[in-house]
Structure 1
Amino acid sequence: MKRIVGALRSPVTRWVFLGVALAIAVYAVWANWADLVLAAEELSPLTIAGATVASFVYVWLTLLSWRRILTDLGSHLPLGAATSLFGVSQIGKYIPGGVWNIVAAAELGADRQIPRRRSVTAMTVAVLVSIASGAAVGCVAFALAPAEVLGVWRWALWGAPLLMVLLVPAVMNRVIAWIFRLTRREPLEHPLTARGLTASVGWAVASWLVAGLQVWLLATGLGLPMSGQTLALAVGGYALAWVVGFLVVFVPAGAGAREAVLLLVLGGSLGSGAVLMVVLASRALLTVVDLTLAGVGIALERHHKRGRVELTDRPTTLG
């Protein structure tokens, strides 16, 4: 890992890394282009617009959740800088391995005087918050889903109380400390505060609700009944699908695993063809959002570096 981090400190390696990640993300959209076009023909422009907006809001709320953890650890970033760092680093998740976005965040953060250890810790804790909150939201949402659809997912209801306990600051701090000891990493510089962690969890929970809304908009556009219960099904299905996809680290951004869970969840309410279009359209929209945010991040990063160069080159006058 040290050799990898050392290599990423080279500007050439960074651009190669970014290029590979972007190429994989673009390929993910291209590979599903035919299905996406078919879905677009079936869906109304208003539905597509609503799902696109929901996709952007979902990613933005995820950014705010991570930013709050970073602030709690001692490094506050303005929104522009946070967008730049988060947007570019998240493209790393399209490279199989599950850690590249964290490594990229550490290197980009170092350019903004954020200690690498703190960047890695913030991204790691943000991921733990996403996993715990996503699983908890999924379990609670399934409790509100239609009884005939719940079926084999009824077991998930039992996990809700335990997962919600994990989001309590005192418990989360103990879990983080245990994980860091297990992985032989230095402990947190100081425990996460109740206020900071609660805010981060709040943003994360909101992100799952919006992500489920995106899936629900696409699904209802293809025949899923519009009701509070089907919305709960979409929220719970996407949250649990993301958690499963994240844990399958050998595929980029949970590709395949996430779709498989959504197919199982929605399969009882929609035809298989419609469900396939929903999951592919959802994935494609989120990939487009990631690419857009990465583009914005690259532009902001270049502006930041150009500003630093101009400030360094500016002649100093005396008296």
Structure 2
Amino acid sequence: MSSISQRVLNWVGSGIAIIGIVFVAFRLHNYWGGIDLSQIAAEAWAFILGLAVLYGAANLLLALAWWHLLIHFDVQATRLWAIKIYGVSQLAKYVPGNVFHLAGRQAMGMAAGVPGKILAKTSLWELGLIAVAGLFYGWLVLPLIFPDFPSLISFFLLCGTVWGGAYLLSRIIGSPVAASFLWQIFFLAVSGGIFAALLRVIRDSLDYHIQTWLLIGGAYIVAWLAGLVTPGAPAGVGVRELILLLLLNGLVADGDLLRAVLLGRLITIAGDFLFFVAAFLIPAKFCVLEKKYG
């Protein structure tokens, strides 16, 4: 690839990332205006800030999942290279169309010398694996649909299918793909836990047992999956909220759930932005490809 082509691809990738920043700013402004700040105590805000930092750190799990897919396709890159490319491009998922973060990553990866076909394959595998991971968490919402279904059994079904899925991926396709799948499973678990913890802060009187955490976390992940597979919804905006309201109706008061949804959006957007900043600041000298292509 010529140096001119590499520069153009870098500009394209950087431009998409900048557009993502603009859309994130609009999203933050809109969500902030929809929250009644007077009902949230100062210590609760400190906890919410901590959840945003935790969510930003959890993005590392997704970056590592992508890195393992690169390994599967024989792209010999450092972890920091994968984290930087993934983190800088990720904000563009808030741009309407729900594909611009993938386009930005594609452009940046090609500018670094990775073949476009390989990058496209990793994106397809990433989407497919995380969709399956989110689908497995659907076991946790069965007690919300069928009240007599035991939460403990739904949890064991989740564990069994995750173990079985990882085992089959490792044996049939390769251990890097299985590792990618497990990193995504862990990311979704953290995301669901963050939302459940947020609801706990908003509603101190909510009786929280392990079953409650599983139900709320599972509902959040299923709602996230619905937003992921909905074409054109930037970062699943609107779709997640609708599914959450439907699944948690009766378990959580509508007012509390709506506040949690809005604050949850603030947490994910702020966390994504923090991860973007951290990835952007990784020195280029640590972000190298150990194998050159073309």
TM-score band, normalised by shorter chain: 0.7 to 0.9
Q: Name the counterpart of 2:292.
A: none
Q: What is the aligned partner in structure 1 of residue 113 from structure 2?
A: 113
Alignment of 1:132-151 (within 5 A): 132-139=132-139, 141-143=140-142, 147=143, 149-151=144-146
8 Å CA contact 1:132–1:167 kept in 2: the answer is no
* Separation in 2, partners of 1:211, 1:47: 15
SS in 2 for 1:167: helix
Deviations 1:154-178 (Å, cap 9, x if unpaired)?
7xx7x979976993676799xxxxx
Whether the 8 Å contact between 2:227 and 2:237 is mirrored in structure 1 is yes
Distance of aligned partners of 1:286 and 1:232 in 2 relative to their CA distance in 1, 3 Å threshold: same
Residue of structure 1 aligned with 2:256, choices 247, 255, 274: 274
Is residue 134–residue 243 contact of structure 1 (8 Å, CA) maintained in 2? Answer: yes
Which piece of structure 1 moves more, 39-48 or 225-234?
39-48
Match of 1:25 in 2: 24
**Aligned partner (choices 255, 265, 279) of residue 237 of structure 2:** 255
Moved more, 46-55 or 81-90: 46-55
Q: Is the 8 A contact 1:51 1:214 kept in 2?
A: yes
Question: Counterpart of 1:208 in 2: which secondary structure?
Answer: helix
Amino acid at match of 1:27: F
With over 3 angstroms needed to count, the CA separation of the structure-2 counterparts of 1:86 and 1:12, relative to structure 1, is closer
- How many angstroms apart in 1 are the aligned matches of 2:263 and 2:232? 22
- How far apart, CA to CA, are the structure 1 residues paired with 2:91 and 2:148? 32
Who is 1:244 aligned against?
Answer: 226
Summarize the Cα distance change of 1:168–1:79 in structure 2 as closer, same or farther, 3 Å threshold: closer
Aligned to 1:208: 188
Alignment partner, residue 294 of structure 1: 276
Inter-partner Cα distance in structure 2 for 1:304 and 1:161? 39
Q: Which has the larger radius of gyration?
A: 1
Letter in structure 1 aligned against 2:108: L
Distance in structure 2 (CA, Å) of the matches to 1:198 and 1:124? 15
For residues 57-76 of structure 1, the aligned pairs below 5 Å read: 57-76=57-76
Distance 1:54 1:150 in 2: 30
Higher relative contact order (CA 8 A, sep 6+): 2
The 1:8–1:134 alpha-carbon spacing in structure 2 relative to 1, beyond 3 Å, is farther
2:165 corresponds, among 164, 167, 192, to 167
Question: Residue in 2 aligned with 1:78?
Answer: 78
Distance 1:172 1:27, change over 3 A: farther
Of the structure 1 ranges 248-257 and 17-26, higher mean CA displacement relative to structure 2 is found in 17-26
Alpha-carbon contact 1:129-1:167 (below 8 Å) kept: no
One-letter code aligned to 1:18: A
Contact 2:62/2:184, CA 8 A, preserved across alignment: yes
Matches within 5 A, 1:307-318: none
Change (3 A) 1:165 1:128: farther
Deviations 1:138-188 (A, max 9, x none): 32x224xxx4x445997xx7x979976993676799xxxxxxxxxxxxxxx
Structure 1: any 5+ residue segments left out of the alignment? 1-5, 174-190, 309-319
The alignment status of 1:91 with 2:91, answered yes or no, reads yes
Does the CA-based 8 Å contact 2:72-2:176 persist in structure 1?
A: yes
Q: Give me the whole-angstrom Cα distance separating, in 1, the residues matched to 2:119 and 2:197.
A: 35
Q: Which shows bigger deviation, 207-216 or 265-274?
A: 265-274
Q: Identical aligned pairs, as a percentage?
A: 20
TM-score of the superposed pair, with normalisation by structure 1: 0.74
- Give the structure 1 partner of residue 217 of structure 2: 235
Shift of the alpha carbon at 1:65?
A: 1.5
Structure 2 SS opposite 1:273 = helix
Cα shift at 1:30:
0.8
Distance in 1 separating the partners of 2:169 and 2:181? 13
In 2 relative to 1, CA 89–274 (structure 1 residues): closer, same or farther, beyond 3 Å? same
CA distance in structure 2 between the aligned counterparts of 1:252 and 1:72, rounded to whole angstroms: 29
Partner of 1:315: none
Report the RMSD for the aligned CA atoms in angstroms: 3.4
Rounded to whole Å, the distance in 2 between the matches of 1:272 and 1:298 is 39
Segments of structure 2 that go 5 or more residues without pairing to the other structure are 289-294
Give the counterpart letter for 2:110 in structure 1: A
